[in-house]
Amino acid sequence: MRHEEGHRSHRIGWLRAAVLGANDGIVSTASLIVGVAAAESTRGAILIAGIAGLVAGAMSMAAGEYVSVSSQSDTENADLARERRELATDPEHEHAELTAIYVKRGLDDRLAAEVAKQLMQKDALAAHARDELGITEELSARPVQAAFASAGTFTLGAALPLVLVLLVPRSALIWAVSAGSLCFLAMLGSLAAYAGGSPVWKSAARVTFWGALAMGLTAGVGALFGATL
């Protein structure tokens, strides 16, 4: 019976984009809300600023992820195209390269040569992509997936502090949004750590600290300029 191991490395691509999007959504929108609220703005102005921040941030995240991951994808495709040409024109040299890789990993020369031969007979490009270039199906760049994941999770994260604006009295808005957003960040960090198999407390503390710093600085700016306008 085949045993399937539950490795988490295949989650790295989408998990990174999702966590980054949600974290930015919470931090940027909550900071914007707190900053505008600290400037003694009305609830309507705070809400408009928050919604504008959500839309602009989601589009920025989607565009940024798409451009960034597309560049990675272009590089991977260029490397694969070059490898494909080399396999067609000089397969003996490519076999020697793969053999040398396996020797460095601990196989003796004869076994390494045989392993390289058999893998190249099955799928030479896949073998070289994986073992020479470090490109695998699980970790390959997916620009559209990354863009949608970032935009969607940014929107979800940004919606959380916006809901608090609607529910909390204006007099308690700054403290409620700050405290609520820090709780959201702690939960996000814990969830991401659990999905990725890393320490929960460390991830939660990290995102909470940087979120608190961002909101504190933005509140200071809002209070400073609100008092002088």
Q: What is the arithmetic mean of pLDDT over 29-40?
A: 87
Q: What is the arithmetic mean of pLDDT over 177-181?
A: 88
**What is the H or E stretch that residue 107 is in?**
none
Task: Decide if 165 contacts 178 (C-beta within 8 A).
Answer: no
Predicted pLDDT of residue 141: 64
pLDDT band at 224 (very low <50, low <70, confident <90, very high): confident
Q: How far is CA 121 from the centre of its chain?
A: 36
Nearest 5°: the CA angle 170, 175, 178 is: 115
For residue 169, CA distances in Å to 173, 174, 181, 183 come to: 6, 10, 16, 19
For the entire predicted model, the pTM comes to 0.68
Higher pLDDT, 88 or 215: 88
